[in-house]
Amino acid sequence: MKYLYVTFIALFLSLNTNAQEDSISDFQRSSFGLSLTQENAFGFYPVIYGSFGISPTLDLTFYGVMWTNPSFGLPQTTFSSDLWLENSFGLGFHAFGGSWYINPSLGFTHGKFLSGGDQSVAFEGIVPSLSLYINPGKMDMEVFLSLYQHLRDEVTDPLNRSTADFLFYWLTPGYWVGKRISLGIHYEGLFLKFGEGDLESSYQWLGPYIKFRIMEKYDFRFIAGPNLKKGVYSDQFYKLTVNIPFE
């Protein structure tokens, strides 16, 4: 739980700094939005995200993922759904003349997917992550990396259940062919670990994407292609993501 205390202390200090210096107008910048994704590995999941300035060059960022895949809560042993929940806080800053946005975050999961227990619990796992948005000129690139590590071991049936950890990442180099259309390549991978085992590659997706930008802020991106890793996941993948910023 020490990670939780450190996060709350950092959040308090950031907010306190903002309160002392809120006369600077740049601090008034903020964002809030909703992202919806449907794909054939993790299923359907909405993401709430946002940020607000805490200094002229630094943002406090946050997100919450409402995982709706019922397999993340199985086997069901209580009257509750045990659906998985993830939330995170981070810091975001611009670099290289504003063409890069760098956003490290620290999050937590709640449920039983990582802890492997019979009942869902709060703060079952920790999720350090890094997001990069790289947009010099007409370039359109995202880089994402996150590590899901269990904090609690709630396993009561070691023959059929275990804790879980995984490494999740993607890279999407693309190019704006106009004001409203971006074309590029999506590469995504997942490494899984159960119990005391080793991290092993579960899928490696590689395929083209097409993205439409409407009214200069709403994004619609579709991705599909082959799975380069033969195994438990489908030989092909597909993913649709819609991004709806409110501010």
CATH class belonging to 2-245: mainly beta
Half-sphere exposure of 41 (CA within 13 A, CB side): 20
pLDDT at 12: 43
| pLDDT tens across the length of the chain (247 residues) | 444 444 444 444 444 444 444 444 556 689 999 999 999 999 999 999 999 999 888 999 999 999 999 999 988 888 899 999 999 999 999 999 889 999 999 999 999 999 999 999 999 999 999 999 999 999 999 999 999 999 999 999 999 899 999 999 999 999 999 999 999 999 999 999 999 999 999 999 999 999 999 999 999 999 999 999 988 899 999 999 999 999 7
pTM over 0.95: no
pLDDT at 28: 66
CB-based contacts of 107, cutoff 8 Å, min separation 6: 63, 86, 87, 88, 89, 126, 127, 128, 129
pLDDT at 164: 97
Contact 116, 155 (CB under 8 A): yes
pLDDT at 75: 87
pLDDT at 137: 93
pLDDT at 9: 40
CA dist., res. 21 & res. 6, Å (int): 23
